[in-house]
Amino acid sequence: MEKLPLRVLACGDVEGRLETLFGRVRAIQSKSGRFDMLLCVGDFFSSTSDAEWAEYRSGAKKGRRGLFSGTSGLQIAYLSGTESQDEPTPAYSFSSKDVTELKSSLLSTLNFKGVDILLTSPWPRDVESFANSPGEIDTKKCGSTLISDLAASLKPRYHFAALEKAYYERLPYRNHTVLQETPQHVTRFIALAEVGNTSKKKYLYAFSIIPMSLMDPAELVKQPQDVTENPYRKLRKGTQKTKVLGCAEEETACQFFFDLKKHQGKKRSSDGKDRGSTQTKQAKKPSQPTGPCWFCLASPEVEKHLVVSIGTHCYLALAKGGLLPDHVLILPIGHYQSVVDLSSEVMEEVTKYKSALKEFFRSKGKRYVLFERNYKSQHLQLQVIPVPLDYSSEDIKECFITQAQEQQIELLEIPEHSDITQVVHPGTPYFYVELDTGEKLFHRIRGSFPLQFGRAVLASGALLALPQRSDWRSCTASRPEEEAQASAFRRDFQPFDFA
């Protein structure tokens, strides 16, 4: 039997303009046929309250929160009023307790997958993250974090709100973590303006919906092309157990650090006891290249005119055919294949260069993205590419994850307390991204891998919009041009160069 969709109208702040609203609804139905229901969010009554509304205002009657389940199977969750910190909470407001109780009553339901519709008056805080702009509305200042938390938990297919006198239809967002969780349905957030507004902003939204309980599961979880990351991802992370990539979730119990004043030449553990060198990470000797290496500093193949800084164990050089003029590489002076192979001394200096580059790029209104491809490469190259500070770390991670998903690449986030050396053993092929915030993404390469992936993501329209420069071979410059770029970088970087 064919499942007929329900035809629904959603409306923004009515503010007592009932004749205007119903006149508009009658006009729509005369042209498009009858709708099954009309849902209203925001301020419904006018400022001149009548006796019936007074009973709700006084608390004699309440309608603060709940779940409406229609005979069709449609489930509509609602939370009335605006957020309040007062106790007891006024009848026309809600508190964190209301949100907690509404979540508990629904999430405890067997096999809860979400609700069809969520109705709230305020917008959820940060709803525009990863998505199209709502214009003049700043969602980092308006709206409610309690609503964000509620939406993240209830996973509505449609979420309607009002109060800001603006129309905003956000791009649909996903309710699962790509490649880590089973695909789920998307959420569409729509904010509506006030009825009869003079600016002619949209206050009525028409849509058709089949209750999720009646839908084919594969059809329900189909992802539209314009789907984005979940804007409340940080909230979801706070309620979920961090997934660690095959390593222990606890931090190592004994962390080592140098105490140069009291224990020269030794390392001391966090419990204050001396440890012999046999218990620390053994210093590794660089392996020998199997043939000519373009990056061993002592090699005649190195293009030394691109070198901009030389430390004790590492050096910096401009990338040949760089994506940008200040695209730089962090390289070990000796021959190491990957970060996982580095000795503690070399790794310490890599970290110092990262810190110096972070300060340098921040002084220019930029942040860096670093990536390593330990696949079909002989010598470790940490590619460091600046992007404008306008791009948040969440924007950048979303861009990498989305483009990885398109190419069936499993790109996972490494928990903050973990390091890549805890995730993969020496000799294992991998791709690795690190932001200047310390956030990291990782892919273990098990088959083939696109050699230009990291660079192509950064060159894409979602970030630097330089697709014509995604391959270094099409970006090579003459030697005089390279020398001029290296000289300029060396001069600008000098105040930040510890070496």
What pLDDT was estimated at residue 241? 39
State whether 298 and 336 are in the same domain: yes
The verdict on residue 134 lying in a domain is yes
What pLDDT was estimated at residue 85? 81
State whether 326 and 275 are in the same domain: no
Mean pLDDT, range 230-243, rounded to an integer: 63
State whether 221 and 269 are in the same domain: no
What pLDDT was estimated at residue 128? 92
**pLDDT at residue 83 greater than cutoff 50:** yes
What pLDDT was estimated at residue 64? 77
The verdict on residue 249 lying in a domain is no
**pLDDT at residue 358 greater than cutoff 50:** yes
Element (H, E) at 145: helix 145-154
State whether 216 and 325 are in the same domain: no
State whether 155 and 268 are in the same domain: no
State whether 273 and 297 are in the same domain: no
Mean pLDDT, range 109-120, rounded to an integer: 92
State whether 235 and 259 are in the same domain: no
Q: Which of 177, 209, 239 is the last residue of a domain?
A: 239
CATH code assigned at 55: 3.60.21
What pLDDT was estimated at residue 20? 95
**pLDDT at residue 107 greater than cutoff 80:** yes
**pLDDT at residue 260 greater than cutoff 80:** no
Per-residue pLDDT reduced to its tens digit, 345-356: 899 999 999 999
Phi, psi of 221 (to 5 degrees): -95, 10
Mean pLDDT, range 9-37, rounded to an integer: 94
Instruction: Count structural domains, the chain.
Output: 3
**pLDDT at residue 378 greater than cutoff 60:** yes
Contact by Cβ (8 Å): 336, 380: yes
**pLDDT at residue 251 greater than cutoff 90:** no
Q: How confident is the model at residue 40 (pLDDT cuts 50, 70, 90)?
A: very high
**pLDDT at residue 248 greater than cutoff 60:** no
Residue-number span of the structural domain to which 266 is assigned: 255-282
The verdict on residue 248 lying in a domain is no
Tell me the percentage of the chain whose pLDDT exceeds 70.
84
pTM, two decimals, is: 0.51
The verdict on residue 62 lying in a domain is yes
Mean pLDDT, range 392-405, rounded to an integer: 90
Per-residue pLDDT reduced to its tens digit, 60-76: 555 779 999 988 999 99
State whether 163 and 260 are in the same domain: no
Helix axes 145-154, 96-107, angle to 10 degrees: 0
What pLDDT was estimated at residue 149? 96
Per-residue pLDDT reduced to its tens digit, 167-197: 999 999 999 987 678 889 999 999 999 999 9
State whether 331 and 378 are in the same domain: yes
Span between the terminal Cα atoms of the chain, in Å? 75
The verdict on residue 250 lying in a domain is no
Per-residue pLDDT reduced to its tens digit, 411-469: 888 876 667 877 888 889 999 999 999 899 999 998 899 999 999 999 998 899 998 98
Distance, in Å, from the CA atom of 367 to the CA atom of 390, rounded to the nearest integer, reads 9
State whether 21 and 163 are in the same domain: yes
Q: How confident is the model at residue 474 (pLDDT cuts 50, 70, 90)?
A: confident
Distance, in Å, from the CA atom of 160 to the CA atom of 187, rounded to the nearest integer, reads 11
**pLDDT at residue 371 greater than cutoff 50:** yes
The verdict on residue 27 lying in a domain is yes
What pLDDT was estimated at residue 174? 93
What pLDDT was estimated at residue 421? 79
What pLDDT was estimated at residue 228? 87
State whether 299 and 276 are in the same domain: no
What pLDDT was estimated at residue 110? 75
CATH code assigned at 348: 3.30.428.10
What pLDDT was estimated at residue 60? 58
Higher pLDDT, 226 or 203: 203
Q: Strands, E, within 228-381: which ranges?
A: 256-258, 267-269, 274-275, 307-310, 314-318, 328-332, 366-374
State whether 200 and 268 are in the same domain: no
Mean pLDDT, range 473-478, rounded to an integer: 86
The verdict on residue 263 lying in a domain is yes
Contact by Cβ (8 Å): 223, 406: no
3-state secondary structure (DSSP) of residue 406: helix
Cβ within 8 Å of residue 223, ≥6 positions away: 174, 183, 186
- Residue 153 CB: number of other CB atoms within 10 A? 21
Distance, in Å, from the CA atom of 139 to the CA atom of 210, rounded to the nearest integer, reads 30
The chain-wide mean pLDDT, for the chain, equals 84
The verdict on residue 432 lying in a domain is yes
One-letter amino acid of 408: Q
